[in-house]
Amino acid sequence: MAEFYEMPSISPTMEVGTLIEWRVAEGQTFESSAVVAEVGTDKANMEAEIFDAGVMLKHLIGEGDEVPPGFPIAIWGQEAGEDVSALVTEFEKRKADLASGAAAPPPAEPEPTAPAPEATAPAAPAVVPSGTVDRDWEGRAIHEQFMDPPGDIRFGGTSATAPASTGRVAASPLARKVAADLGVSLPSVRGTGPGGRITRADVESAPRGGGTRRTQVARADQVVRNSPMRKTIARRLLQSHTDIPTFFLTATFDMQGFVELRKGLKAHRPDDKVSYNDILIKAVAAALEEHPWVNASWGETEVTQHGRVDVGVAVAIDGGLITPVVRNANHKSVFEIATEVRDLAGRARKMKLTPEEYTGGTFTISNLGMMGIEHFTAIINPPESAILAVGGINRVPVVTDAGIETGWRMKVTMTCDHRVIDGAVGAAFLQTLRAYVEHPALINL
């Protein structure tokens, strides 16, 4: 007997699913537990299975369509040629009800640790530069990131330089569009973006037509449909901002010990790529062990102090943010953390994380230091009670007993849920974290 195959609920924060691809065609038979479609959730693309053997009688939605969990997307049965007219009629009615909002199912209850982007951070690029912008002892700043740079762009030395010529101009898609509108030759434009990448501002300021500026061509508005990820980020941002009474604690850490530690790790274990953020995750995990009120979640009748220390790491991906979780970070070495973060961030970029890998954290770190940000505040990922916003490591003038010297400094700001964390409790946590950061030999690496 023919019946509906419904959009599965395969993510705890899923409000709608996008049909990415049908894996089983109409009229095709399939075995039990076959993958019939690929579905895009708010955080990842997942394979949708059917647990009985049968035949695909009719696709009800097309690739790219969005429907909520539990909504029919196909009709299947045991034999080809089964009558599906009644089900098609029912589907059309439910489709009309959904469009009018009459029968739309309620959204899924928010679950732990869906990513909450920073309140003041700029919109993330589709692929965030990474590796290292690791300036030497005469440099001004140290930048870290998890992902590979886009295209041919590489970073290093005391300044970012354009890549060796490969016959391809490094320019953003927007810069290419503006260049085409204004008649600017991209190879003649000097890029000021990361790695010499040409930006829109570079194109608009470039001479054209013999050095005279032509009238700029007005560009039409572009309407970008909100993805399930964008909708979830917006909903959880509003929930966190509205429901949680927050306050902020900012501290400046002496990073000399961090710089020397990582320099030593690179010299003695060059094959083990460890970033400053990896060491910071280990330091935060160690501090959380000593401060259970920070590693906690609010409930209407009780506060849960988590026995586990699961640290989320905010990672920018195409279209939004996601927070992969390093489980039991307090029991892992910094080398294990580094390997795990690279793996999680790489698969996050490909939308291949499972819900278990980006939910259930107990504390989150959001690091924008790699983008030249010195200080910012971040929004808490419910039901966590705190998030640490991390700025860049900069070399600045420092007053010492000997006079004015230079030293490495980094600013961090912790956003706290005041229902769980009082000011003194949050300050005590940052004191402990400062001890580990400024004296990393205390950490069991």
Given a contact cutoff of 8 angstroms between Cβ atoms, the answer to whether 361 and 312 are in contact is yes
pLDDT in tens, 181-232: 777 887 888 777 656 778 777 787 777 654 444 455 677 888 888 877 788 7
The Cβ of residue 152 has, within 10 Å, a number of other Cβ atoms equal to 16
Q: Where does the pLDDT of residue 173 fall: very low under 50, low under 70, confident under 90, or very high at 90 and above?
A: low
Please indicate, yes or no, whether residues 271 and 418 belong to a single structural domain of this protein. Answer: yes
Instruction: Report whether pLDDT(444) > 50.
Output: yes
Q: Is the pTM of this model over 0.85?
A: no
Among 52, 77, 100, where does a domain finish?
A: 100
Exactly one of 306, 331, 418, 439 is catalytic; which is it? 418
The answer to whether position 385 is within a domain reads: yes
The answer to whether position 83 is within a domain reads: yes
Tokens of 277: 């953020």
The answer to whether position 111 is within a domain reads: no
What pLDDT, on a 0 to 100 scale, did the predictor assign at position 127? Answer: 39
The least confident of 115-129, 298-312, 366-380 is: 115-129
Structural domain span for residue 253: 228-442
* C-alpha to C-alpha distance for 210 and 176, rounded to whole angstroms: 20
pLDDT in tens, 272-296: 889 999 999 999 999 999 999 999 9
Bond preceding residue 383 cis, omega within 30 of 0: yes
Three-class secondary structure assignment of the chain: CCEEEECCCCCCCCCCEEEEEECCCCCCEECCCEEEEEEECCCCEEEEEECCCEEEEEECCCCCCEECCCCEEEEEECCCCCCCHHHHHHHHHHHHHHHHCCCCCCCCCCCCCCCCCECCCCCCCCCCCCEEEECCCCCCEEEEECCCCCCCCCCCCCCCCCCCCCCCCCECHHHHHHHHHHCCCHHHCCCCCHHHCECHHHHHHCCCCCCCCCCCCCCCCCCCCCCHHHHHHHHHHHHHHHHCCEEEEEEEEECHHHHHHHHHHHHHCCCCCCCHHHHHHHHHHHHHHHCCCCCEEECCCCEEECCCCCEEECEEECCEEECCEECCHHHCCHHHHHHHHHHHHHHHHCCCCCHHHHCCCCEEEEECHHHCCCCCCECCCCCECEEEEEEEEEEEEEEECCEEEEEEEEEEEEEEECCCCCHHHHHHHHHHHHHHHHCHHHCCC
The answer to whether position 382 is within a domain reads: yes
pLDDT in tens, 303-341: 999 999 999 999 988 878 889 999 999 999 999 999 999
CA 123 to centroid of chain Cα atoms: 11
> Which of the two residues, 107 and 238, has the higher pLDDT score?
238
The answer to whether position 274 is within a domain reads: yes
Domain count of the fold of the chain: 2
Polymer length of the chain: 445
Most confidently modeled of 74-88, 152-166, 403-417?
403-417
CATH number, position 32? 2.40.50.100
Backbone angles phi, psi at 412, to 5 degrees: -130, 150
What pLDDT, on a 0 to 100 scale, did the predictor assign at position 111? Answer: 47
Strand order in the sheet with 17-22: 45-50, 34-40, 17-22, 66-67
> Which of the two residues, 123 and 323, has the higher pLDDT score?
323
The answer to whether position 206 is within a domain reads: no
Among 64, 85, 100, where does a domain finish?
A: 100
> Which of the two residues, 154 and 194, has the higher pLDDT score?
194
CA 315 to centroid of chain Cα atoms: 3
CATH number, position 423? 3.30.559.10
What pLDDT, on a 0 to 100 scale, did the predictor assign at position 64? Answer: 80
Is 375 tagged catalytic? no
Instruction: Report whether pLDDT(178) > 90.
Output: no
* Residues forming a β-bridge with 390: 367, 412
What pLDDT, on a 0 to 100 scale, did the predictor assign at position 366? Answer: 95
Among 100, 123, 145, where does a domain finish?
A: 100
The answer to whether position 402 is within a domain reads: yes
What pLDDT, on a 0 to 100 scale, did the predictor assign at position 217? Answer: 63
The answer to whether position 122 is within a domain reads: no
